[in-house]
Each structure stands twice: as structure tokens, then as C-alpha cells.
Amino acid sequence: MSLKGDVIRSLIEPEVVRAIDSLPNKVNAQGYDQWGFCPEEAKLYYSIAYRLYPYFRPDVHGIENIPDGRVLIVPNHSGQFPFDAAMISVVCLLKASPPRLLRAMVDRFVPALPYINEIYSRSGVVLGDPINCRNLLEDDQAILVFPEGTKGSGKTWDRRYKLARFGRGFMRLALQTGAPIVPAAVIGGEESIVSIHDGKPLAKLLGLPYLPISPWLPLLGPLAYLPLPVRFHIYFGEPMTFDGPFDDEDVVIDKKVAVVRDKVQSMINEGLAARRSLFF
């Protein structure tokens, strides 16, 4: 028994193992599904994410609103790094009944990131293109999609909790597959890592969608990007369903998208009003 194997086994949480083992997990002889998800490797990665749970202490509301079968979970995006996606995913795996493994959609720059791309893939994350998403929904899986994209995660302080424009893709997929949409709101992510400016020229040189500039640079150096121990409050709204052709005119789809966006913004506003402090 190797030391490396002992260390890995010591990191895996029994609660995560039980949840992942309870899933359908349609894998091939090598232990992977057709999108690259590997239940055995995911147990390690979800266990590592679970160790952030005591740090952000998610306060969860409405988890019972997540239905069985195909569903699109649509939250706001924030925080510079995807801590919001990690916490939502852990919450849905460990707190939903039955457990739901979210297939998070990522932008096209992510598969080009060494090591991270494989970790994401083995954890169930997939490239956010329409074919991937449609096939997953037709397989009755749960999709986590941030319609703001990187414009949401890279918000500067002056834009906190103000939703960026939502893309239309999630709505077209919901209409095409008959999947309900669960609006969601995350409170706390905006304050976890503060950005006062987007260093776009340098980001472009590095091949990144944005480059957050911390107010604590250069004083704290790399420590300026450590997340603050703010408490996350995660709200899941009641499922929303929409009718109509998925390939309708953009102006028609935009009206449906606006309904979801307005609902998420309303949930954000209510969550902010209910929050007593950043850390409790």
C-alpha cells in the first residue's frame, strides 16, 4: 500500500462516497461516462471541495425546489474564482434529496488549462456547448449554467450584485428539451475576492477572460487573492417552465430570458436584505 494511496484515501469523505455511489453513474469498463466523468476520481475532488464548506459555511434555502430528472440550475456568478460553483455543486450533492451531481458548463478557455481541465472533466464539468448540454438534459441530468459567463465572475466591486446580460443558450436548451429552470442566487461570493479593476490588456496577453486587480496590491502580494471567510447564502427558487419553439426569434427568446434574469435579481435583492453581516 503506497504512501500516496494512503494520503488520497485519507482525504476522501465518507459522506461524499455515499452520495456519489447512490447516483446512476452510467460508466464504461474503464470507469468513465461519455463526457469524461469518473465517479471514483470525483470522490476525491468533491471531498477537497467539501473542505471549503466550513470556510464559507453555506446557508442553504429552497434545496427542495430541485426536482428529479432533467433540470437547469441558473444562478448569478461572482467572486473571480469559481467558489460559487463549487459550493452549489457540493450543496446539491450532499443536501439535495436524492443527491444531484451537477454538470457545470464552462467556457472554452477552461479545457486549455493544464491539470485543471482534467480535474474538472473527472468531476463532471463539461464544455458549455449546446450539444453537450442537450445530450446531458436528454439523459435526465442536472445542469449548472451561469448565463452571465465570465462577465459575471469577473465583476468589479462597483458592479457587485448587479446582473450582467444573460445569454440565450440556456433558454433555447430548456425549450428544446422541456427541462425546468431553477433560478438560484448566491450571496457572499461578491465579497470573497474583491476586484476594483479588470486588467484587460494583461489578461489578453495571458489568454484569460479577465484579470482582477485587488485593492490590496501590491501590499499583500499573492495573499491579496486569498478569499475572505465570508458566509455564503444560497437560495434555490421554484422551478420555472417555458413553452415555445427553441429556435424562435432572438427577440422572443430574450423576453423569456428576461423573466429568469429578473427572478434571479429579485432573489439576490431579497437575500441581501435578509443578510445580517458578511461573516454570519
pLDDT at residue 240 in the model? 98
pLDDT at residue 183 in the model? 98
Mean pLDDT of all residues in the chain?
A: 92
The whole-angstrom separation of Cα 48 and Cα 50 is 5
Q: Which three cell numbers stand for residue 119?
A: 480535474
pLDDT at residue 4 in the model? 56
99-148 pLDDT, tens digit per residue, is: 999 999 988 777 777 788 889 999 999 988 889 899 999 999 999 999 99
The whole-angstrom separation of Cα 47 and Cα 52 is 9
Q: Which amino acid is at 148?
A: E
pLDDT at residue 5 in the model? 67
- Contact in structure between 137 and 35 (CB atoms under 8 Å): no
Q: Among 49-63, 102-116, 157-171, 236-250, whose mean pLDDT is lowest?
A: 102-116
pLDDT at residue 40 in the model? 94
Q: Which three cell numbers stand for residue 22?
A: 447512490
Helix (H) or strand (E) holding 119: helix 116-123
- Range 209-213 average pLDDT: 88
pTM above 0.95, yes or no: no
Burial class (CB in 10 A: 0-12, 13-18, 19+), 60: middle
Q: Is the pLDDT reported for residue 6 higher than 70?
A: no
- Range 147-152 average pLDDT: 89
Chain-centroid distance, C-alpha 255? 24
Q: Is the pLDDT reported for residue 150 higher than 90?
A: no
The whole-angstrom separation of Cα 171 and Cα 102 is 18
The whole-angstrom separation of Cα 253 and Cα 63 is 27
Q: How many CB atoms lie within 10 A of CB 194?
A: 20
Strand positions, DSSP E, the chain = 59-61, 71-75, 102-106, 126-127, 142-144, 181-187, 197-198, 212-213, 233-236
pLDDT at residue 253 in the model? 98
Q: Helix or strand or coil: residue 1?
A: coil
pLDDT at residue 164 in the model? 93
- Range 19-32 average pLDDT: 93
- Contact in structure between 17 and 25 (CB atoms under 8 Å): no
- Contact in structure between 184 and 91 (CB atoms under 8 Å): no
Q: Among 94-103, 121-130, 204-213, 262-271, whose mean pLDDT is lowest?
A: 204-213
Q: How many CB atoms lie within 10 A of CB 268?
A: 23
* Pairing mode, strands 59-61 and 126-127: unpaired
The whole-angstrom separation of Cα 146 and Cα 181 is 12
**DSSP codes of every residue in 227-248:** PP-PPPEEEE---B---S-TT-
- Range 206-215 average pLDDT: 87
Q: To the nearest whole percent, how much of the chain has pLDDT over 90? A: 77
Q: Which three cell numbers stand for residue 238?
A: 421554484
pLDDT at residue 239 in the model? 98
The whole-angstrom separation of Cα 187 and Cα 83 is 12
Backbone angle region of 164, left / alpha / beta, with phi > 0 → left and psi within -120 to 50 → alpha: beta
Q: Is the pLDDT reported for residue 242 higher than 80?
A: yes
The whole-angstrom separation of Cα 235 and Cα 233 is 7
Answer yes or no: CATH 3.40.1130 is held by domain 57-274: yes
69-100 pLDDT, tens digit per residue, is: 999 999 999 888 889 999 999 999 999 999 99
Of 170, 188, 195, 176, the C-alpha closest to 256 is 170
